[in-house]
Amino acid sequence: MAIDWNKFDKDVDLEALEEDVKEVEENGGGDFPDIPDGEYEVAVEKMEMVTSKKGDPMLSIWFEIVEGEFEGQRIFYNGVMQPHNEKAFGFQTHRNNEMLRALWDCEKDDVEFKGFVDYADLVLDIHEDIDGKFEYLLDKGKNDGGYDTFEIKEVFEVE
């Protein structure tokens, strides 16, 4: 059976892809160093809803380290949301909501999940609102299960 590649082409932003390929060519082949646990001053480089490798909805945030030994490197927050997993979905959504609230100066009710279309729009709106205006003190750690944890400790206005 032949694969219908047209459905994939609809999802490709060729201009953005060209920029991404150029950045990799200029800055190296995508070898990302393992960033040790600790506190880092970061800026949000990219924030959007995407799908995970398994096809689940996921909040993706790229934090760029702006100071210190790892300046210019990235820390990736990948908040997978599994609506088919009733036991985990509420926790996953809560964790993503808390991250969004920490990044954005807002009331609790300003960040709510009301469906994936609305949530994806909210994520883009938040990114647009904070882009270039704030930096953060991010504490990257691990939980008892060995999974990465992320906590915004402080917010700094960019001057």
More confident residue, 1 or 134: 134
Place of tokens 């809560």: 94
> pLDDT tens digits, residue range 91-142?
999 999 999 999 998 889 999 999 999 999 999 999 999 999 999 999 999 9
Give, in order, the Cα–Cα distances in Å from 3 to each of 6, 8, 12. 9, 10, 17
Domain ranges of the chain: 38-157
Name 148's bridge partners: 142
